[in-house]
């Protein structure tokens, strides 16, 4: 479970800045849209396959998602349900809820969007950190778990009214997917959609090459995206997400506590995995799995990847004072 993201950096002159020169190929002028949504930023680039600008079109999609899934929006569907009030749920909420439940099951509970209260007591949510005790955690765990909530006849049904949901660990990837599907319907041939660092891209960039995405080095103090890179990946027709612990943590009594909370134990995770970049068929899945890997750590992530060969990953972990990398064969590194 994590809510701090945006741990990779997009390379393209029309999105943020140019760092590499890819030769003398003629560049096509792509259109760009950027702004703020769901408590984070977004950047979109697309080939001019339609006459009119898509700014308002994209803003309408973002508003619909915000009104459904954003916990930063007090009047959204998810916020209303968290307060225990009755409200109709839409297809956006249903899609994210159902996929979250599926990944909850395949992760054996390590990915759990009902774990928000645990995140709060450790000071990584909407509340200040509390003095955490085992008794406090045990009481919260009584109403944490996607097995305690269902959708029945279009209504969200909780076995415990105290249960709340926070979809931040999957909703931004899903938003990228929603926009991508709408672009496909419009006939947009090439695009990159990035929401809070989670990406879906298709086709090629403005220089006719696959999209290139820089992954930040997971070191403390690396707060500016793109300033200190671990690797640059090439990507097309896939979703990508990165999760890491190195930007958000706190120290107490000389001990560092990760912002990634294990929803099964209620405690911050402690393992060697520093950063997990996942490539999947859609950004929603990549988003959720990156969180899952950061919860369970390197060894269990590798076991999962061996079973689900359609998922690719680039994992950075600590070995003493050195960084090491595990990557699957399908990861394309720009040399």
5: pLDDT strictly greater than 70: no
Helix (H, G, I), strand (E, B) or coil at 248: coil
Mean pLDDT of 159-178: 96
C-alpha to C-alpha distance for 197 and 161, rounded to whole angstroms = 33
Residue 307 pLDDT > 70: yes
State the burial class of residue 196 (Cβ atoms within 10 Å of its Cβ: 0-12, 13-18, 19+).
buried
Question: If you average pLDDT over residues 173-196, what whole number do you get?
Answer: 97
Provide the residue count of the chain: 335
Q: Is the pLDDT of residue 70 over 50?
A: yes
Token representation of residue 205: 């960039």
Spatial neighbors of 227 by CB under 8 A, at least 6 apart, are: 216
pLDDT of residue 246: 55
pLDDT tens digits, residue range 89-111?
A: 999 999 999 999 999 999 999 99
Rounded to 5 degrees, what angle do the CA atoms 305, 309, 312 make? 65
Domains present along the chain, CATH in parentheses: 1-335 (3.10.520.10)
| Average pLDDT across the chain, whole number | 86
Mean pLDDT, residues 126-146 taken together: 88
Predicted pLDDT of residue 18: 27
Token pair in block for residue 106: 């395949």
Return the higher-pLDDT residue of 209 and 246: 209
Question: How far is Cα 67 from Cα 69, in angstroms, rounded to an integer?
Answer: 6
CA distance 34 to 37: 10
Measure the CA dihedral 48/53/57/60, to 10°.
Answer: 130
Could you give the percent of the chain with pLDDT greater than 90? 70
Question: H helices of the chain, where?
Answer: 55-69, 77-82, 91-106, 116-121, 134-141, 168-186, 283-296, 298-307
Q: Kindly state the average pLDDT of the residues 69-83.
A: 95
Q: Are 82 and 76 in contact (CB under 8 A)?
A: no
User: Residues 6 or more apart from 179 whose CB is under 8 A from it?
Assistant: 44, 58, 61, 62, 193, 195, 200
Cβ pair 242, 215 in contact under 8 A:
yes
Q: Looking at the predicted structure, is the pLDDT value of residue 127 above 80?
A: no
pTM of the model as a whole:
0.88
Asked which of 45-49, 152-156, 194-198, 243-247 is least confident by mean pLDDT, the reply is 243-247
Would you tell me how many other CB atoms lie within 10 Å of the CB of residue 199?
28
Strand partners, 214: 9, 232
Asked whether the predicted pLDDT for residue 172 surpasses 70, the reply is yes
pLDDT at 14 exceeding the cut of 50: no
Cα separation, 223 vs 297, in Å, equals 23
Crossing angle of helices 91-106 and 55-69, in 10° steps, is 60
d(CA 45, CA 31): 6
Confidence of residue 74 (pLDDT cuts 50, 70, 90): very high
Q: Take residue 38 and report the two structure tokens written for it.
A: 């769901």
- Is residue 172 within 8 A of residue 287, CB to CB? The reply is yes
Residue 125 has pLDDT above 70, yes or no: no
Per the CB < 8 A criterion, the answer to whether 23 and 7 are in contact is no
**Structure confidence at residue 87 (pLDDT):** 95
**Among 194, 302, 207, 192, residue whose Cα is nearest residue 242:** 194
User: Would you state the torsion angle of the CA atoms of residues 228, 2, 125, 145, taken in this order, to the nearest 10 degrees?
Assistant: 180
pLDDT of 249-304, one tens digit each? 444 444 444 578 999 999 988 888 999 999 999 999 999 999 999 999 999 999 99
């Amino acid at each position: 479970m994590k809510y701090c993201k945006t741990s990779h950096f997009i390379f393209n002159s029309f999105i943020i800045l140019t760092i590499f020169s890819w030769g003398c190929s003629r560049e096509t002028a792509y259109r760009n849209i950027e702004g703020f949504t769901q408590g984070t930023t977004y950047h979109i680039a697309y080939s001019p396959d339609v006459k009119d600008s898509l700014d308002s079109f994209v803003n309408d999609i973002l508003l619909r998602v915000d009104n459904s899934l954003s916990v930063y929006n007090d009047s959204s569907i998810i916020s209303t349900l968290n307060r225990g009030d009755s409200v109709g749920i839409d297809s956006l909420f249903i899609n994210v809820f159902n996929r979250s439940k599926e990944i909850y099951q395949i992760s054996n509970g390590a990915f759990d969007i009902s774990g928000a209260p645990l995140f709060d007591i450790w000071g990584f949510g909407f509340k200040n950190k509390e003095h955490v005790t085992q008794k406090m955690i045990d009481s919260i765990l009584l109403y944490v778990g996607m097995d305690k909530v269902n959708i029945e006849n279009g209504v969200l049904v909780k076995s415990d009214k105290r249960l709340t949901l926070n979809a931040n660990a999957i909703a931004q990837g899903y938003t990228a997917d929603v926009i991508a599907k709408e672009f496909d319907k419009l006939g947009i041939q090439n695009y990159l959609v990035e929401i809070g660092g989670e990406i879906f891209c298709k086709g090629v960039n403005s220089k006719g090459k696959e999209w290139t995405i820089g992954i930040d080095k997971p070191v403390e103090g690396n707060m500016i995206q793109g300033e200190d890179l671990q690797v640059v990946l090439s990507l097309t027709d896939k979703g990508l997400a990165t999760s890491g612990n190195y930007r958000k943590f706190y120290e107490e009594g000389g001990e560092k506590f990760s912002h990634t909370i294990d929803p099964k134990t209620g405690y911050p995770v402690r393992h060697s995995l520093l950063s997990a970049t996942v490539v999947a068929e859609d950004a929603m899945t990549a988003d959720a799995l990156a969180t899952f890997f950061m919860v369970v750590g390197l060894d269990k992530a590798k076991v999962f990847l061996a079973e689900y060969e359609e998922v690719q990953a680039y994992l950075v972990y600590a070995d003493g004072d050195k960084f090491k990398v595990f990557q699957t064969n399908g990861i394309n590194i720009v040399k």
